[in-house]
Amino acid sequence: MRGEIAETRREQIIAAARSLYEEKGIDHTSVKDIAERANITRSLFYHYFSSRDEVTDAILDAYVDTFVAAVREWNAQRVRGDVDGALKTCVAMLRRHLFDTDSFRTDLLKSQNALLYQRFSQQTARTLAEYLTRTTVAEYARYHRVEIHHPYEEFYLLIIGLMSYMRTHPDASDELVADLIADTLHLDLGSQQD
* pLDDT single digits (tens) 156-182: 999 999 999 998 898 999 999 999 999
Report the pLDDT averaged over residues 72-101: 88
Does domain 52-194 fall under CATH 1.10.10? My reply is no
Where do the structural domains in the chain lie, given as residue ranges? 1-50, 52-194
Residue 194 pLDDT class (50, 70, 90 cuts): very low
The answer to whether 89 and 51 have CB atoms below 8 angstroms apart is no
The answer to whether 68 and 159 have CB atoms below 8 angstroms apart is no
Task: Give the DSSP letter of residue 78.
Answer: P
Residue 185 pLDDT class (50, 70, 90 cuts): very high
Mean of the per-residue pLDDT values for the chain? 89
Class of the domain covering 1-50: mainly alpha
**Range 85-93, long-range pairs (CB < 8 A, 24+ positions):** 86/194, 87/178, 87/181, 87/182, 87/187, 88/174, 88/178, 90/178, 90/181, 91/174, 91/177, 91/178, 91/181, 92/174
Q: How far apart are CA 17 and CA 10, in angstroms?
A: 11
CA distances (Å), origin 158, targets 107, 150, 162 = 24, 12, 6
Three-state DSSP class for 51?
Answer: coil
The whole-angstrom distance between residue 145's C-alpha and the CA centroid of its chain comes to: 28
Q: What is the CA radius of gyration of the chain?
A: 19
Report the pLDDT averaged over residues 121-147: 90
Report the pLDDT averaged over residues 103-131: 85
Query: Residue 17: its pLDDT value, please?
Result: 95
